């Protein structure tokens, strides 16, 4: 199943800079692992925001929830998930 995921990140200013840097590094490592595995095939930055739109491929809602909740930045994210289905006019 494909899912469109909109993530908005809001790291609190009270989080120490070294802790924020550590969490961001862990986030990058984990997200790139999911990308290499084909579970996170697309990620686009939203210009001017600390946000992205991504496409995830997951077996089901539970697998997607596990992937998202394991993101190191998850506690600082607002996430909206939209399940996707093939469009009948698509040539792919």
Name all domains of the chain by residue range, CATH numbers in brackets. 2-84 (3.30.70.1060)
Per residue in 4-36, pLDDT (tens digit) is: 999 999 999 999 999 999 999 999 999 999 999
Amino acid 53: pLDDT: 98
pLDDT of residue 57: 98
Helix/strand/coil (H, E, C) string of the chain?
Answer: CEEEEEEEECCCCCCCHHHHHHHHHHHHHHHHHHHHCCCCCEEEECCCCCEEEEEEECCCHHHHHHHHHCCCCHHHEEEEEEEECCCCCCCC
């Amino acid at each position: 199943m494909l899912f469109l995921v909109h993530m908005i990140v809001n790291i609190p200013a009270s989080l120490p800079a070294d802790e924020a840097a550590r969490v961001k590094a862990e986030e990058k490592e984990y997200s790139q692992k999911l990308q290499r595995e084909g579970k996170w095939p697309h990620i686009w930055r939203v210009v001017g925001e600390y946000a992205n739109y991504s496409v995830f491929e997951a077996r089901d809602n539970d697998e997607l929830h596990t992937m998202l909740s394991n993101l190191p930045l998850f506690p600082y994210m607002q996430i909206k998930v939209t399940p996707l289905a093939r469009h009948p006019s698509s040539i792919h």
